[in-house]
Each structure stands twice: as C-alpha cells, then as structure tokens.
Amino acid sequence: MDGIQATSSGAAPDSALVHARPTVADLHGDNHFAQVARKHWLAAKKAPKVRPEVVKKELWDELESGDFAFSSLLVLENLQLLERYLWPGFTEDASNYHHLLLALMVNVKRRENLPSWGKTQHLVPSVPLLTCPPQNTSRVNPPNSPPSSAEYSP
C-alpha cells in the first residue's frame, strides 16, 4: 500500500500517512492520481481539453473520499494538475468543481512556497473569481464596512 491511501477498513488513516510527502512510486506507480494524470494531461503534446466528468469523478470525488488529504493534493501538485490541465483548460463555462480545484491547487502552491501562477500571472485579472482587490494600506475600512468602489476599479 502506498503512503497516501486511506486504510482499507475505512478507518481514519494514520496522521503520519496523511501528511506524507509524495514518493517516486506515488508519481509513477499505480497511484490513482498518477494514472489520471498520465491519461489526461502528462502525455498530451498540447493543452488538453478539460472534461467535466474527469474533474468531478476522477479528481474531486477521489479527493473528497480521502477528506482532501494534503498528501493527495501534493501528489496532484507534483503531477502539475494546475499548470498542465486546470489552468490551460479554464474557460468561462468551467464547472464549479473546476473553479474549486483551481483555488485548492493555488492554495497548495502557496502553502509550499511555490510560485502560484508563473507565466500565467498576466491572465489572472481576467478571471473574476480569482481577482483580488488591490491592497490599500493608506486606510483601513472599519469592520463590516464595504470597501470603496475606487478600490475595485480596474
């Protein structure tokens, strides 16, 4: 059994296993996510079309069944899920699961002190969900008060 799978009895996995770092075997062996990656984006010569059923069933449902174990997210990060599949295939019609996986994988990168966007940084403002308001350190809004409209102007 590889170090990131939950126990077969359905019991909660050992804490050390949940936080295990991905191994070479996880990335190249029979790991579910490695198989999905090889099938859908690692072997592709150009950016593959994102299929909603892959995002939902093969990625989201599998992560959810493992309680979004950080070790599984690290495997997906090492398999370049964000850079090679989710981001290149992002469109305005992307599913909610696609949006959530994008946000999740960016958070994994941030937690690991990795660059979140790299060469795609210039595209982020075109995605409203991913656009953050500019930081204005000259004044602080009182609690529960909305920021001024000037802070959100493009």
Convert the pLDDT of each residue in 71-88 to its tens digit: 999 999 999 999 999 999
Q: What is the pTM of this model?
A: 0.65
Range(s) of the domain holding residue 82: 15-119
Q: Evaluate if residue 9 carries a pLDDT over 70.
A: no
Domain-located, residue 135: no
Q: How confident is the model at residue 120 (pLDDT cuts 50, 70, 90)?
A: low
Q: How many domains does the chain have?
A: 1
Structural domain includes residue 106:
yes
The DSSP code sequence of the chain is: --TTSPPTTSSPPPHHHHTPPP-HHHHHSS-HHHHHHIIIIIS-SSPPPPPHHIIIIIIIHHHHHTTT-HHHHHHHHHTTHIIIIITTT--TT--HHHHHHHHHHHHHHHHTT--SSGGGGGGGGG-GGGPPPPP-TT--PPTT-PPPGGGG--
